[in-house]
Structure formats: structure tokens, C-alpha cells
Structure 1
């Protein structure tokens, strides 16, 4: 993946997460929904693992990860890719 001329070295999980969000821009995905779609063989553990991967993804794709504009948190619901 590239941002401008810069190549972004995403892990497989980060790439799959980004693809899932980008497949339905503007749609809010719950942590559980992302776990079911991104982690192939199921995941048994804390669903906060999604937060960890979203945070890592943001450090790579956002110009200012502290104020994300692309991968947005929807409080109490989950995450969405901002279609703007």
C-alpha cells in the first residue's frame, strides 16, 4: 500500500482490517464484526485486540494518528473508514 510516494509496510492483519473498512466506507463496524471478518479462524480472547491493530494501522496511514481522519472511532459502536 502507498500513501503518495511513500510505501506503507502493513502487516497482513492491518491490511485485512483496512480492506474490510474500505469495502464499506462510512459503515460502522463493531469490534466483534471486525474480529469475525479479519481474524480467519476465529479469535477467542479480548476483543480489544481490534483496538491495538487499529492503533497500529493509524500510525501508518494517518498523517496525524493522534487526530485520525481516515480510520475513525465511533464511540460505543466501533470503527469506520471516513469516505471523505
Structure 2
């Protein structure tokens, strides 16, 4: 990986980890899954930043629809 891309990924990780306490590994795993084109399932009790991580990562790459697919029930029925 060139230094340009390595620096961009490091900056992205640092930005995504802001305001998240002890969730660094989860952020990195979500990014790894995205880069690999794979799905990831975040499991845990309420209040453990699952939605916040998903939201931050999705906004870093575009709209939630770009990442997760259609969020409209009518659109989901058409798939």
C-alpha cells in the first residue's frame, strides 16, 4: 500500500474513533469488512455505540443507502 493510501486510511480511522471510548477495535473491524466487501454484524447490549459506529462509517463513505441498501420498506419489498 502506498504511503498516500496508508495515510488516508490512518486519518479515516482517527476521525472515526473520535468520541468513541474503547471501541477502536470495532471501528477497525467495520472498516476491514467494508474494504473486503463483506458484511459485519454488530452485536451487543443497548448503549454500546453500535449504531453510532455504523452511522459514522456510512457517512464517511456516502449516504446510508449507499452502504446498507434501500431503507424504505417499499423498496425492500421490490428486492
More helix by percentage: 2
- Bigger-Rg structure (1/2): 2
Higher relative contact order (CA 8 A, sep 6+): 1
Give yes or no for TM over 0.5.
no
TM-score by length of 1: 0.39
TM-score by length of 2: 0.41
More strand by percentage: 1
